[in-house]
Amino acid sequence: VAPSPAAAARRGCPIDHAALSAHKAPTGCPVSHRAADFDPFSDGYQQNPPDYVRWSREQEPVFYSPQLGYWVVTRFDDIKAIFRDNISFSPSIALEKITPTGPEANAVLAQYGFALNRTLVNEDEPAHMPRRRALMDPFTPEHLAHHEPLVRRLAREYVDRFIDDGRADLVDQMLWEVPLTVALHFLGVPEEDMDKLREYSIAHTVNTWGRPKPEEQVAVAHAVGNFWQLAGKVLEKMRQNPEADGWMQYGIRKQKEMPEVVTDSYLHSMMMAGIVAAHETTANATANAVKLLLQHPHVWREICEDPSLIPNAVEECLRHNGSVAAWRRLATVDCEVGGVPILAGSKLLIVTSSANHDEGHFADADLLDIRRDNASDHLTFGYGSHQCMGKNLARMEMQVFLEEFTRRLPHMKLAPQSFSYVPNTSFRGPEHLWVEWDPAQNPERRDAAVREGERSPVRIGEPSGHAISRPVRVEAATPAADGVLHLRLVAPDGTSLPRWAPGSHIDVECGDSGLSRQYSLCGDPADARAFEIAVLDDPDSRGGSAWVHANVKPGDRLRIRGPRNHFRLDEGAQRLVFVAGGIGITPVMAMARRAREMGTPYELHYCGRKREGMAFIDALQALHGEHLKLHVSEEGSRLDLQTLLATPQEGTQVYACGPLRMLQALEAACVHWPEDTLRVEHFESTLGTLDPSKEQAFEVELKDSGLTLPVRADQTLLAALRAANIDVQSDCEEGLCGSCEVRVLQGPVDHRDMVLTRSEREAGQRMMSCCSRACGGQKLVLAL
């Protein structure tokens, strides 16, 4: 119930409660002071949206903004759930004017016959998916590849124009025009009228997502009206030549096959909206990325030295500082978001840039970490059935631009300046980006070949974990037991390393041997300076550990990947039992340290054949005292698993790492315990290569994306998903690491990975897309 105005005034509530109830706030006055102050047109939001709503992410993740008349949602899980359900949360308001214009501006728009209508991004079902499916082909990685030479040529020519000047506004001199030209080519539009289109598309942004002042509204309306008419004229020109290349011509051809799906109204509206979708988003995203990277000179240096880092750097920039800061949905039913009741008819501003900084999903979320393994989970492209169709074109352009800059202008720096943004809720990028450099130092003055450069292949699609490595220096290499080498790895420049949690591992690349091996981190997560691992020189190893023992010395440089964590400790467990066999102590010791810190009751069983071969015994005894139980078989003290696990206990979790035989014995000893009591870590795969003669093809239905795809007998599920533009991360592609896990909603899975527990397999709700398939060629339904 809304308090009386007098009561509200006594509490200093700044809200007009009458206006609030008109906006359907269901619970009286849910508006805190900070929510009342929220103003997405203010400089605070414009400069840094995720920082501006940090308070909300932390304290009030779903709040009502009386200034905007919208519910604002700021956490990752809530926003992803909204994207997932495009029926309860309709996209129909995505292109609606966020600030309604006055009668004069509306009259101007009417005079131009302005009728921007449903396109794709704001179309409801059941109309949307058939149209999206009909128009998707030109966006698949296979079809996008032929745009790459154009992007490269344009990037080179534009840099040629200013490379000798020592100073440039990258937005004005390159980043605005190149993505516009690429967008026009992609759409199939002739290149003329570029300046007009530029002016018009800014007006369209302000008209849709901005707050033009009454006196500006009329000028904006004229520009938008002109844009609309120009779009109509260009479309007519295209209809004269429907066989030409271009997405619009593809749409014109599809219209002949399915006129009820690809309508006239759609084509005209898309002609206008498509330019903005493809152009401004990418121009802004590149400007944001270059600015962010130059603000982190050590990161800039790293990508200059190692361009293979660029694909993931692009992804991390899109996460950290993307060009779409927020998107919109309309609640069509009474529902809850993050536990807050929302009435049908409520409008939602979903602040995707805030989701991208949610600590609950991205560890150390404010850090720019170009090796972050889940960077591509960001929501800058939206998610689900409306997810950006052009994402892989944008990623490709951004990679080419960064490659060009890092190769030809590695000495570029940000010039002193303050950044301005076109005030609006959604589209975000600096209006100018001044950079400077000393032309005498241009690498191509010494070596003309730099201009052409070596081309590292652009990755069309979501970046792969394989490419993301990080240099480290071996600070110490000391024996920790017979045959066990303890390595302390630090950043070469002594800076902090990414945060990690117990159970995490890193992959160590073994020089030029082509081998890389996974080792659990065994140090203290609070020590941000170093990663510690312990490597057993195992005669049965596949060569990686032998390489480490033979080659690694203090002072050496190594390349590593990660950290990644597929062996997470459940911090909510009431009691923890840790069982380690031999070198399996490494992840377990980091977990036991955490249990001790949290004050959770725990015991640590450490088994080995002989004491001299068991690493870290002294340190473990000093830290864990009587919580540590040593079982040294040569000394006759074997661990009796049957006795240890005789009586199941609710709330207890057992974490184990060690030889396969020990893990199998543990699994047998835990059968009468509640499901998922036992969590284990494997480091070796039994997976062979895919043999098409033994496999069956099957179908997958993707619930969130509204697609059904065939998976051929000679193809993994992961490969089929990627070919259809669905982002799935992957790393080992051997069923070991868990990166490529997808959620299964229906259908029997033939599990072939080493990640899931028995009951997780039986539950059939998750599968590893790199290796697991459908049983007997049956259909699977996935939450993708």
Give whichever of 66 and 322 is closer to ligand HEM, judged by the CB atom: 322
Give whichever of 278 and 484 is closer to ligand HEM, judged by the CB atom: 278
**Shortest reach from residue 717's CB to ligand HEM, in Å:** 23
Give whichever of 31 and 273 is closer to ligand HEM, judged by the CB atom: 273
**Shortest reach from residue 189's CB to ligand HEM, in Å:** 12
Instruction: Look at residues 567, 486, 565, 566 and name the one whose alpha carbon lies nearest to residue 531.
Output: 486
How far from 581 is each of 570, 587, 671, CA to CA, in Å? 21, 11, 20
H helices present in 670-782, as ranges: 717-723, 758-763
Q: What CA–CA distance (Å, rounded) separates 321 from 421?
A: 13
Give whichever of 312 and 380 is closer to ligand HEM, judged by the CB atom: 380
**Shortest reach from residue 119's CB to ligand HEM, in Å:** 7
**Shortest reach from residue 412's CB to ligand HEM, in Å:** 21
Give whichever of 74 and 323 is closer to ligand HEM, judged by the CB atom: 323
Give whichever of 323 and 739 is closer to ligand HEM, judged by the CB atom: 323
Q: What CA–CA distance (Å, rounded) separates 601 from 583?
A: 24
Give whichever of 78 and 731 is closer to ligand HEM, judged by the CB atom: 78
* Side-chain-side CA neighbours of residue 108 (13 Å): 17
Give the 3-state secondary structure of residue 774. strand
CB 514, CB 525: distance < 8 Å? no
Give whichever of 217 and 385 is closer to ligand HEM, judged by the CB atom: 385
Could you give the angle at which helices 391-408 and 177-187 cross, rounded to 10 degrees? 140
Q: Which residue is nearest to ligand HEM (CB)?
A: 390
**Shortest reach from residue 205's CB to ligand HEM, in Å:** 13
Give whichever of 17 and 75 is closer to ligand HEM, judged by the CB atom: 75
Give whichever of 356 and 469 is closer to ligand HEM, judged by the CB atom: 356
Give whichever of 191 and 571 is closer to ligand HEM, judged by the CB atom: 191
**Shortest reach from residue 720's CB to ligand HEM, in Å:** 20
**Shortest reach from residue 757's CB to ligand HEM, in Å:** 33
Give whichever of 217 and 725 is closer to ligand HEM, judged by the CB atom: 725
- Going by their DSSP bridges, the two strands 340-342 and 62-65 should be labelled as unpaired
Residue 494, class by beta-carbon neighbours within 10 Å (0-12 exposed, 13-18 middle, 19+ buried)? exposed
CB 750, CB 775: distance < 8 Å? yes
Q: What CA–CA distance (Å, rounded) separates 345 from 23?
A: 9
**Shortest reach from residue 274's CB to ligand HEM, in Å:** 7
**Shortest reach from residue 327's CB to ligand HEM, in Å:** 5
Q: What CA–CA distance (Å, rounded) separates 630 from 481?
A: 15
Query: In this structure, how many other beta carbons lie within 10 angstroms of the beta carbon of residue 692?
Result: 11
**Which tokens is 39 given?**
């103003």
Give whichever of 384 and 562 is closer to ligand HEM, judged by the CB atom: 384
Give the 3-state secondary structure of residue 439. helix
**Shortest reach from residue 640's CB to ligand HEM, in Å:** 55
Strands of 127-177 (E only): list them.
167-169
**Shortest reach from residue 550's CB to ligand HEM, in Å:** 46
Give whichever of 186 and 519 is closer to ligand HEM, judged by the CB atom: 186
Q: What CA–CA distance (Å, rounded) separates 741 from 722?
A: 14
Q: What CA–CA distance (Å, rounded) separates 107 from 218?
A: 9
**Shortest reach from residue 117's CB to ligand HEM, in Å:** 14
Residues that bind ligand HEM (CB under 6 A): 83, 91, 120-121, 132, 186, 277-278, 281-282, 285, 322-324, 327, 380-384, 386-390, 393-394
**Shortest reach from residue 449's CB to ligand HEM, in Å:** 31
**Shortest reach from residue 15's CB to ligand HEM, in Å:** 30
Give whichever of 269 and 545 is closer to ligand HEM, judged by the CB atom: 269
**Shortest reach from residue 125's CB to ligand HEM, in Å:** 11
CB 544, CB 508: distance < 8 Å? yes
CB 585, CB 522: distance < 8 Å? yes
Instruction: Give the contacts of 507 (CB within 8 A, at least 6 positions apart).
Output: 516, 517, 518, 519, 560, 561, 562, 731
Q: What CA–CA distance (Å, rounded) separates 483 from 535?
A: 8
CB 513, CB 547: distance < 8 Å? yes
SS3 content of the chain, % helix, strand, coil (to 5): 40, 20, 40
**Shortest reach from residue 322's CB to ligand HEM, in Å:** 6
Residue 697, class by beta-carbon neighbours within 10 Å (0-12 exposed, 13-18 middle, 19+ buried)? middle
Give the 3-state secondary structure of residue 280. helix
Give the 3-state secondary structure of residue 380. coil
Instruction: Give the contacts of 769 (CB within 8 A, at least 6 positions apart).
Output: 716, 717, 718, 721, 728, 730, 740, 741, 742
What would the DSSP string read from start to end of 540-602? TS-SHHHHHHHH--TT-EEEEEEEEESS---TT-SEEEEEEEGGGHHHHHHHHHHHHHHT--E
Give whichever of 323 and 730 is closer to ligand HEM, judged by the CB atom: 323
Give whichever of 60 and 148 is closer to ligand HEM, judged by the CB atom: 148
Give whichever of 275 and 657 is closer to ligand HEM, judged by the CB atom: 275
**Shortest reach from residue 379's CB to ligand HEM, in Å:** 8
The CA-CA-CA angle for residues 132, 137, 142, to 5°, reads 145
Instruction: Look at residues 400, 421, 415 and name the one whose alpha carbon lies nearest to residue 169.
Output: 415
**Shortest reach from residue 335's CB to ligand HEM, in Å:** 18
Q: What CA–CA distance (Å, rounded) separates 266 from 148?
A: 28
- Phi-psi category of residue 483: left, alpha or beta, with phi > 0 → left and psi -120 to 50 → alpha: left
